[in-house]
Amino acid sequence: MISQKYEQKMSQKLTPQQILLMRLLHLPIISLENFIKEELENNPLLEDSVDNSEHSEEYTNDTLDDEYSNLEPYDDFNLEEYMDDDLEERYDEKRPTSENYIGEQISNSGTTLHEYLTEQFNLKEISEKQYLIGIELIGNIDDSGYMRRDMTSLSNDLAFNNGIDADEKEIEDVLNIIKTLDPIGVGARNLQECLLIQLHNIANSNPYKKWGIKIIENNFDTFTKNNHNKLIQKLNISESDLSNTLKLITRLNPKPGSSFSNENTQAQYIIPDFFVFRTNDDTLSFSQNGDFSDLKMSKTYLNILKDITKDEKQNEEQKATVSFIKEKAESARWFIDAMKQRKKTLDITMKEILEYQKSFFLSGDKNELRPMILKDIAERTGFDISTLSRIVSQKYVKTEFGTFKLKDLFSVSHDSDDGKGVSVKSIRNMIQELIDNEDKSNPLSDKDIQAIINTKGFNFSRRTIAKYRELLNIPIKRLRKKI
């Protein structure tokens, strides 16, 4: 029986302009520079002061705004030309050459697996909580593409590092989303799951797909022992079909992340996105690295458009030219507006972070870091938490005390005995300093560390100290002892 019913649902769809802005917010300075270069190469309506002709150098943005206001919008504009899935791969692989920004270290800088996954994950229509869980999960995927951490440990990490209360089912649901990303098979917990994910993504028209799934899902041990006769008996399959099925399986990638650069062993090209300055009266100020305010539209092409539109009887070639210029003009306007919005959004965010962490920026002492989570800055700026997560990702800030990852300034709170919150990162720094300075012939136990820290006004259990020590990848006392 066929029935009809009406449902009313609310959903939020991102416009192409919003998608472009989110992409630009996520890009660090090195990727942004290369992105702009490619836009300048692909769009003749977009120019900067370096490459402009003498006709467009004297043309200001205000004048261009007036000229552009007379154009009809180009409704058929397609954003795909700079919405490619391999956005950061294309831009990060290029070495920086511009003098618009200042770099600190020179090394190879290929796209990492984590960056590639994050770029795809940014486009998923999910809640803010799911987005933050996903970013944490992606950071825990190893270089082969596997998720080796168990759900309980991941839940603890989310609570300690981000202040997110997520149960194992919520984490599992987000991990399933990550498993849909490219390269296929990423996010699996083991080889069996990795191969199954890849087999399920093979076209149904492949006659050996169903046998491959049955072998890996139900007969994995037999498969790993190369017991072909047993597989033939169990599956009631011919020797020829088994041979072709095994060929299909052996073509799968057991390490889907292996084709990407190793972000742990490969040196990175660090270019600060922000510079923080301190004056004699302890006033703090900052600036963004790179100046892209000279982007503008070409007066030459706009004049061509005006001349053609004066002719009421346009031929086919003229109509094609009008269509082309309108499309590129709309693209250029979107890009210029998005760049302005990016700068404004980053300025507002950095201003609030600077004010919130003023003590740290004045002293350079990591123990001065206040507890600060994305929600704190969201309340000050009015931006969504997911927007802020994109902003702080892969960004660096240079101070007189060194260069830091922007996301490392964030930390959840732990209450001290006097009721004041202290940054978890500060506690972890205390643990790190105590172990760095311990007597290696008689290292500190977790109970010793607990006692020392608690004398400073904190109330930590030994289990909590052990958890923080493990997060710092510091072995237990027995393994640290040296004779």
Report the pLDDT value the prediction gives residue 385, as an integer from 0 to 100. 86
Evaluate if residue 79 carries a pLDDT over 60: no
User: 436 vs 464, which has greater pLDDT?
Assistant: 436
Q: CB-based burial of residue 12 (10 Å sphere; 0-12 exposed, 13-18 middle, 19+ buried)?
A: exposed
Evaluate if residue 315 carries a pLDDT over 90: no
Whose CA is closest to 456, among 432, 413, 422? Answer: 422
Average pLDDT over the chain, rounded to an integer: 78
Would the pTM count as exceeding 0.75? no
Report the pLDDT value the prediction gives residue 345, as an integer from 0 to 100. 94
User: 412 vs 85, which has greater pLDDT?
Assistant: 412
Report the pLDDT value the prediction gives residue 381, as an integer from 0 to 100. 93
| Residue 106 pLDDT grade (very low, low, confident, very high; cuts 50, 70, 90) | very low
**Are the C-beta atoms of residues 82 and 35 closer than 8 Å to each other?**
yes
User: 85 vs 192, which has greater pLDDT?
Assistant: 192
User: 199 vs 58, which has greater pLDDT?
Assistant: 199
User: 98 vs 387, which has greater pLDDT?
Assistant: 387
Report the pLDDT value the prediction gives residue 47, as an integer from 0 to 100. 87
Measured distance CA(378)–CA(129) in Å, rounded: 14
Report the pLDDT value the prediction gives residue 146, as an integer from 0 to 100. 92
Q: Which of 244-248, 295-299, 310-314, 390-394 has the lowest mean pLDDT?
A: 310-314
Amino acid (one-letter) located at 27: L
Mind listing the pLDDT tens digit for each residue in 241-259? 898 888 888 888 888 888 7
**Are the C-beta atoms of residues 283 and 277 closer than 8 Å to each other?**
no
Report the pLDDT value the prediction gives residue 307, as an integer from 0 to 100. 84
Evaluate if residue 409 carries a pLDDT over 50: yes
For the chain, report the end-to-end CA distance as a whole number of angstroms: 81
DSSP state of 256: T
Evaluate if residue 73 carries a pLDDT over 70: no
| Residue 63 pLDDT grade (very low, low, confident, very high; cuts 50, 70, 90) | very low
Report the pLDDT value the prediction gives residue 77, as an integer from 0 to 100. 34
**Averaged over 297-314, what is the pLDDT?**
83
**Averaged over 124-145, what is the pLDDT?**
87
**Are the C-beta atoms of residues 402 and 453 closer than 8 Å to each other?**
no
Q: Which of 20-34, 128-142, 374-388, 419-433 has the lowest mean pLDDT?
A: 419-433
Percent of the chain topping pLDDT 70: 79
Evaluate if residue 102 carries a pLDDT over 60: no
| Residue 290 pLDDT grade (very low, low, confident, very high; cuts 50, 70, 90) | confident
